Amino acid sequence: MNDLVSRFSAVRSHTAALAAPLSAEDCCVQSMPDASPVKWHLAHTTWFFETFVLEPNEPGFEPFHPAFRVLFNSYYNGVGARHPRPQRGLLTRPALSDVLAYRANVEQRMQAVLARQADNAALQSLVELGLQHEQQHQELLLTDVLHLLSCNPLAPAYRDALPPVAASAQAPDWLEFSGGLCEIGHGGSGFAFDNELPRHTTYLAPYALCSRLVSQAEFAAFVADGGYRRPELWLAEGWDWRAAQQIEHPLYWRHAPGGGWKVFGLYGEQPLDPQAPVTQLSYFEAEACARWAGARLPTEAEWEAAAASRGGTGTQTAEGSGLRDLFGSVWQWTQSSYAPYPGFRAAEGAVGEYNGKFMVNQYVLRGSSCATPPGHARLSYRNFFPATARWQFSGLRLARDL
Amino acid sequence: MNDLVSRFSAVRSHTAALAAPLSAEDCCVQSMPDASPVKWHLAHTTWFFETFVLEPNEPGFEPFHPAFRVLFNSYYNGVGARHPRPQRGLLTRPALSDVLAYRANVEQRMQAVLARQADNAALQSLVELGLQHEQQHQELLLTDVLHLLSCNPLAPAYRDALPPVAASAQAPDWLEFSGGLCEIGHGGSGFAFDNELPRHTTYLAPYALCSRLVSQAEFAAFVADGGYRRPELWLAEGWDWRAAQQIEHPLYWRHAPGGGWKVFGLYGEQPLDPQAPVTQLSYFEAEACARWAGARLPTEAEWEAAAASRGGTGTQTAEGSGLRDLFGSVWQWTQSSYAPYPGFRAAEGAVGEYNGKFMVNQYVLRGSSCATPPGHARLSYRNFFPATARWQFSGLRLARDL
Amino acid sequence: MNDLVSRFSAVRSHTAALAAPLSAEDCCVQSMPDASPVKWHLAHTTWFFETFVLEPNEPGFEPFHPAFRVLFNSYYNGVGARHPRPQRGLLTRPALSDVLAYRANVEQRMQAVLARQADNAALQSLVELGLQHEQQHQELLLTDVLHLLSCNPLAPAYRDALPPVAASAQAPDWLEFSGGLCEIGHGGSGFAFDNELPRHTTYLAPYALCSRLVSQAEFAAFVADGGYRRPELWLAEGWDWRAAQQIEHPLYWRHAPGGGWKVFGLYGEQPLDPQAPVTQLSYFEAEACARWAGARLPTEAEWEAAAASRGGTGTQTAEGSGLRDLFGSVWQWTQSSYAPYPGFRAAEGAVGEYNGKFMVNQYVLRGSSCATPPGHARLSYRNFFPATARWQFSGLRLARDL
Amino acid sequence: MNDLVSRFSAVRSHTAALAAPLSAEDCCVQSMPDASPVKWHLAHTTWFFETFVLEPNEPGFEPFHPAFRVLFNSYYNGVGARHPRPQRGLLTRPALSDVLAYRANVEQRMQAVLARQADNAALQSLVELGLQHEQQHQELLLTDVLHLLSCNPLAPAYRDALPPVAASAQAPDWLEFSGGLCEIGHGGSGFAFDNELPRHTTYLAPYALCSRLVSQAEFAAFVADGGYRRPELWLAEGWDWRAAQQIEHPLYWRHAPGGGWKVFGLYGEQPLDPQAPVTQLSYFEAEACARWAGARLPTEAEWEAAAASRGGTGTQTAEGSGLRDLFGSVWQWTQSSYAPYPGFRAAEGAVGEYNGKFMVNQYVLRGSSCATPPGHARLSYRNFFPATARWQFSGLRLARDL
């Protein structure tokens, strides 16, 4: 339990640290309906603890502010009304300073509850869910504010430092997997979201995965080869979407004055880094690029089974013998529609709305990204977005049949 | 080859017969972008033969009308430009009589080509694809014109006859299947679409399927129990769609003056038939109804494996021992996203656009419906529509885990 | 009264004659929400007589078909429910033949009522309103079906004959008017719509009008001079609309293969006729062209006062001394917003909805067009459309301050 | 010229004072495309002086920040590119503090230019235009931030003080005017916008105006009498708009818990004040209310002629003998479409875009409101908004024919 107390502090502090470089103005504005203001992330993650942990566990519970119950509910019908998502950016009040006070207040009360109920396993489990939830919002906070900054003609950088130097080029290897019966899904005793359960058997035909991610140079070759002008490379719905939105390149790519590309990111506008993985791709773009390369996207079962057998964790994988950059670089689109695993059962109560109700018209991403908090991802982790989502740290790893 | 010649005549005549009860006005109008005019179906199925069979096989080929090449191309980028889909209903010219003349002309030329090339297997294969394609449009012709008629306050009936008398009530049975490794996909020598290939192994956990389809009475109970008012029964995207569209019941259900429901269909407005299967459901409605019933939709692999082992063909299944109404009643939504089978490869050339490029954001339906031409469906057949499609003969069969 | 009987026959026959060259399909389809199907015009003009004349004046009145009361009501809230305007084209039933039977039935009953009530001045006045109303729909029938035909890549002609030969070029004259106090509005004893009343005094500053209409050659020069690319020539709202709609030329102008323009019209696709007046202009296009020409649009009072003092009627004006083509060529946009005259009072009852409720966000056109039935227009006639309406026979005559 | 220098300081300070009660967050957010952020108003009014005064008059001119040239251009095509209006709220950078620095910098340079060119009449005239422009934005700043605050469920007040106590009830008088020839438009030597010119003759029929504005109590009676449910009271376009937007009462009216109404305003949520003028009405609502009252809206000429002859300035008009609340309470909708006066000529250059290009599909409001800076309005002042604009301090004064 002491571990949980200190972990609670660490996760909460990390969220605040992510917001620290931003002004109150930066934290308030919502740049599109799919993105939330930073201030809203700060408040909603606090609301989660207040609603699901403090309210049932704190004697004489009183909400910090009655209106926050509605303002900072995201999508839990079981908890009552909620402020409309596209209007989150209109909330100039409460001020950022009020939301920080809300955070401090709930943190203090959480510490008290945690101290008092050191043996309550159900409570600890809910707190852990709240922390995992907050870590998910840490990544969204970054991708959402990055989208906001990308809309600004001044091209402001989230981070002032220089971006990390890209690793030198590595030739892609095709790693082969024999398939057959295998188990996927979360199996251990640690935390997992309900959508990773139950661990179950599946059958895979033989396949190969590329040892590394598709690079920015490779994606630039796709663009130069008319990738965004050739309907035969695209899913029909993707092609229509691309045409209607007049999409000609990844969301954050910009034509450099003398030719070539600049790429906007957390470090501001930088020259395209040929060795770095391409990112901020929609499913449609990733899928078209894979077809152009004579390959395809992996299924999530292929990805997980391969990663389990030959993956290296993080970027420090030894000597190129395995799947590099599974974690910590960019999320990898799979061709798998987000669907319940066989035997899936949503949790009871309002937290049961966490995952299951989104299992339609979304596609699974695997791995993790440079914006994912360290320690948050795992082999069985299932991230998911609609096929048109372009503002995440999402790229691709090629697969093919054997 | 004689078989193919007579089959060609039979399929073509059947299409014309379906249009026979309709006026030129009925055949011309497009009631929504997703539906095509009957006249367009009549012309497009003819265009398919002219473009893919006559053009490469007829000496000195000349198109019946140069403009028809564009007007009646549906979605084949490989064949050139095409008239925008939402504007198909603006084509009052060519007149219905001109389109019927187009049909007769192409049929005559097809007979000549078929007679001349009796040994050309590739040609025969293309003709068979054209006939299967035309049969798919026979069903769409009916569902599209039904949608048009449903928009008319006069509630005109497509068929003047009385509707078939509903079978008497049957108690639903739960049939259990042990799962394990099984094969799905088309395996025989007969015709199949590319999306049914290749036949492949998959692994299934134990499951049960209901012996019969969900009935109109059962769906009426779902509605009466607040099924359209309870967000906890719906996928989140479905709920938002339902709310935005103000959907409160199936598309063709109408409040009867004295209470209860009338249902619009090919026989016009009829009283709800409690024993008949509910139809014209979207995926979202079917999925919510299954959840309300404490069950779920089957996967397509579950459906196919079960149908292969214990199905009866058509409605004449013997004495309740198996899965009834697999075919010929209503298509059955599955929870499976429409995706390529492992090892899927689209056909070469423009006909390769037939299926593969639609494999995103759609859900598979299995079986067949009362509007499917006899002999068209099979165990491995994969129909597919977006989760919001409400105008097909689409219902559901319940499944559950064991 | 005999006059009215024969006038009734003549007007009704003329409507039928306008529809005669069209097929049932042509008469059924609606090409945009602002346009109605020909069949609907045929039925609605009949509904007007049935509702406003027969119902209160025919003993034992029974409607021809109860549903037609709703289907063919245009916008009269005082008469009850109505079929939604954008869905008029979905009514494949009643068939065209049924609507023609409806016309014949109401005509027969109207003749009986007219014979019986030869002395009923109020009735006669309503019948006259109905005939004027039907004449307005005669013009709309033509402009609406022309829009439909313009959407067809086959470019079908409404009329098979050759178009009239354009008159030879005439140099434009500027005719000067001293202004001052003048009277406008309908003053005589003949028929006028309520929006032309009351005749009233207005004050005009001195001004000049051009003796002839802006020609197609002049408008082509405007286009060639970047007229559609220079925001300084446009009203701000017009410019934004133009940009959003990607409008680069008049609605029915098409690039001719070898350069220059073809113009679609009632005679199909014809070469641009330099001397003929430009037509099918929106207010925004007309206004921009006038500014480009260093002039402006006239006000409706300027137009009417000038026409009263120096106009020639129709095209046969003598020797260039006056305002040519006031009538019978193209409607002429004025800069006047459609507004009630001082002292305007709408008629009592449902027919009071005829004009007054549209007096906002529309602009007045004066004169008449080649599609206006002979004898329908007059000096005080006020036609009106929104500033974006592009499918009418609408052009412009230049004005300027003195 | 000393006057201009001190007037410059006074106007600029007043703008800053209006923003003073607001946080940086409040100043950054844009609540709808029609409203601009406060920060944008602060910057744009500064941009106006920088662009139109400093750039041509300051030796060695350098812009404060090159990007601001585009970011804070509103709609002047003649000045180059501009940031899209609906994205003004995405500019979290420059920060509010940077914009305040921009203001200070331009003010200092303006003082220098004004000192150096004390005899430059053209310059002084431009500066005066810039000050009048800034005063217009002072009002918009208030109406825009009020709209933003109105979107916040916390209902925050712009001003903490209590609202002014409403005057006691006064019976409405009908003041009669004989009409005839009269002059309207700006005639004196003081400042006027180009749209108030030239002063010109017009002719008016006899009419009456109500001595006072329509009150909140009267508008509440309109609502209670089904004013928002009776199509016969509305212009057709207004009715369709009302229905589509589901409008049932003025924008800032809210149902009070125990019945009756609360009204949101600069002082937060307050009980409806029966004697106070109704405000935040669209043209459509004002026009419908007038019809319900058996009256109509005045024309702008009627308003100006009446105000010139019997108006009192401001609220302190003596003993009920004249038109009260012409100024300083709420803008008064007229039935006049915003159109050029006879002989109107826009100014040369980019400032010519100030007014003329908006003269379509807008309606004129006369007088001024409680949010108009003192001294800004005059008898000939023409404010204008689209018929659907609901967020201004806009009400109505009744008129009728004699």
**Cβ <8 Å between B357 and A283:** no
A236 touches chain B (CB under 8 A): yes
List pLDDT tens digits, range A58-78.
999 999 999 999 999 988 888
CB C154 within 8 A of CB B94: yes
List pLDDT tens digits, range C249-287.
999 999 999 999 999 999 999 999 999 999 999 999 999
Q: Report the pLDDT averaged over residues B346-361.
A: 87
Distances (CA, A) of A196 to A345, A346, B204, B302, D132: 11, 11, 18, 21, 64
B178 touches chain A (CB under 8 A): no
| Per-residue confidence (pLDDT) for residue D321, from 0 to 100 | 59
CB D227 within 8 A of CB C349: no
**Global confidence as pTM:** 0.95
- Which residues are paired to B332 by β-bridges? B366, B395
The CA R_g of chain D, rounded to the nearest whole Å, is 22
DSSP-assigned letters across all residues of C351-363: GGGSSGGG-SS-E
Q: Report the pLDDT averaged over residues A144-161.
A: 95
A359 vs B contacts (CB less than 8 Å): 235
| Per-residue confidence (pLDDT) for residue B314, from 0 to 100 | 41
| Per-residue confidence (pLDDT) for residue D352, from 0 to 100 | 84
Distances (CA, A) of C282 to C61, C86, C364, C393: 44, 21, 12, 10
Tell me which fold the domain C174-401 belongs to.
paralog of FGE (formylglycine-generating enzyme) (3.90.1580)
The CA R_g of chain C, rounded to the nearest whole Å, is 22
Q: Which residue from D minimizes the CA distance to C238?
A: D360
Euclidean distance between CA atoms B193 and A320, whole angstroms: 42
| Per-residue confidence (pLDDT) for residue B319, from 0 to 100 | 44
Q: Checking phi first, is residue D179 left (phi over 0); if not, alpha (psi -120 to 50) or beta?
A: left
Residue whose entry in the numeric block shows the structure tokens 């034509």: A255
Who among B87, B148, B153 is closest to C92 (CB)? B148
- Which residues are paired to A201 by β-bridges? A183
Burial class of D229 by CB neighbour count within 10 A (0 to 12, 13 to 18, 19+): exposed
Give the CA count within 13 Å in the CB-facing half-sphere of B182. 20
Helix (H) or strand (E) holding C147: helix C121-150
Backbone angles phi, psi at B108, to 5 degrees: -65, -45
Euclidean distance between CA atoms C187 and C200, whole angstroms: 9
List pLDDT tens digits, range A223-275.
999 999 999 999 999 999 999 999 999 999 999 999 999 999 999 999 999 99
Residue A166 has pLDDT above 80, yes or no: no
| Per-residue confidence (pLDDT) for residue C315, from 0 to 100 | 38
List pLDDT tens digits, range A352-379.
888 899 999 999 999 999 999 999 999 9
Which of C227, C177, C216 has the alpha carbon at shortest distance from C330?
C216
Mark whether C and B touch (3+ CB pairs within 8 Å).
yes
D335 vs C contacts (CB less than 8 Å): 339-340
List pLDDT tens digits, range C153-186.
999 999 988 777 766 667 889 999 999 999 999 9
CB C272 within 8 A of CB C253: yes
> What percent of chain B lies above the pLDDT cut of 70?
96
- How far away is chain D from the Cα of A159, in angstroms, using its nearest Cα? 15
Helix (H) or strand (E) holding C235: none
For β-strands B331-337 and B394-395, DSSP reports them as parallel
Euclidean distance between CA atoms B271 and A124, whole angstroms: 56
List all residues 6 or more positions away from D265 whose beta carbon is below 8 Å from its beta carbon. D146, D163, D252, D279
D278 touches chain A (CB under 8 A): no
Euclidean distance between CA atoms B140 and B73, whole angstroms: 16
**Cβ <8 Å between A90 and D26:** no
| Per-residue confidence (pLDDT) for residue B318, from 0 to 100 | 40
Residue whose entry in the numeric block shows the structure tokens 């229509």: A240
Which of B100, B86, B116, B122 has the alpha carbon at shortest distance from B39?
B100
For β-strands D394-395 and D383-385, DSSP reports them as unpaired
Q: In what order do the strands lie in the sheet with C399-401?
A: C174-177, C207-210, C399-401
**Cβ <8 Å between D23 and A83:** no
CB A177 within 8 A of CB B342: no
Residue C331 has pLDDT above 50, yes or no: yes
**Cβ <8 Å between D358 and C201:** no
Who among A67, A89, A152 is closest to D29 (CB)? A89
**Cβ <8 Å between A91 and D31:** no
Lowest mean pLDDT among B209-223, B339-353, C143-157, D7-21: B339-353
Which residues does chain D have with pLDDT short of 70?
A: 1, 166-169, 311, 313-321
3-state SS, chain B, equals CHHHHHHHHHHHHHHHHHHCCCCHHHHHCCCCCCCCCHHHHHHHHHHHHHHHHHHHHCCCCCCCCCCHHHHCCCCCHHHCCCCCHHHHHHCCCCCHHHHHHHHHHHHHHHHHHHHHCCCCHHHHHHHHHHHHHHHHHHHHHHHHHHHHHHCCCCCCCCCCCCCCCCCCCCCCCEEEECCEEEEECCCCCCCCCHHHCCCEEEEECCEEEECCCCEHHHHHHHHHCCCCCCHHHCCHHHHHHHHHHCCCCCCCEEECCCCCEEEEECCEEEECCCCCECCCCCHHHHHHHHHHCCCECCCHHHHHHHHHHHECCCCCCCCCCCECCCCCECEEEEEEECCCCCCCCCCCCHHHHCCHHHCCCCEEEECCECCCCCCCCCCCCCEEECCCCCCCCEECCCEEEC
Who among D201, D235, D358 is closest to C357 (CB)? D235
C178 touches chain D (CB under 8 A): no
Can you read off the two tokens belonging to residue D92? 């979290």
Q: Look at C118 and B220; give whichever has higher pLDDT.
A: B220
A37 touches chain D (CB under 8 A): no
| Per-residue confidence (pLDDT) for residue D167, from 0 to 100 | 66
Chains in contact with C via at least 3 Cβ–Cβ pairs below 8 Å: B, D
D77 touches chain C (CB under 8 A): yes
Who among B77, B283, B343 is closest to A231 (CB)? B77
Can you read off the two tokens belonging to residue D64? 């404060």
Dihedral sign, Cα of residue A163, residue A167, residue A173, residue A176:
negative
Q: What pLDDT band is residue C321 in, cutting at 50, 70 and 90? A: low
Euclidean distance between CA atoms D143 and D369, whole angstroms: 11
Euclidean distance between CA atoms A80 and A73, whole angstroms: 8
Q: Report the pLDDT averaged over residues A314-323.
A: 54
| Per-residue confidence (pLDDT) for residue A118, from 0 to 100 | 86
**Cβ <8 Å between D93 and A29:** no
Q: Report the pLDDT averaged over residues A12-33.
A: 98
Q: Which residue from D minimizes the CA distance to C183?
A: D203
| Per-residue confidence (pLDDT) for residue A167, from 0 to 100 | 66
List all residues 6 or more positions away from D317 whose beta carbon is below 8 Å from its beta carbon. D311, D323, D324
List all residues 6 or more positions away from C164 whose beta carbon is below 8 Å from its beta carbon. none
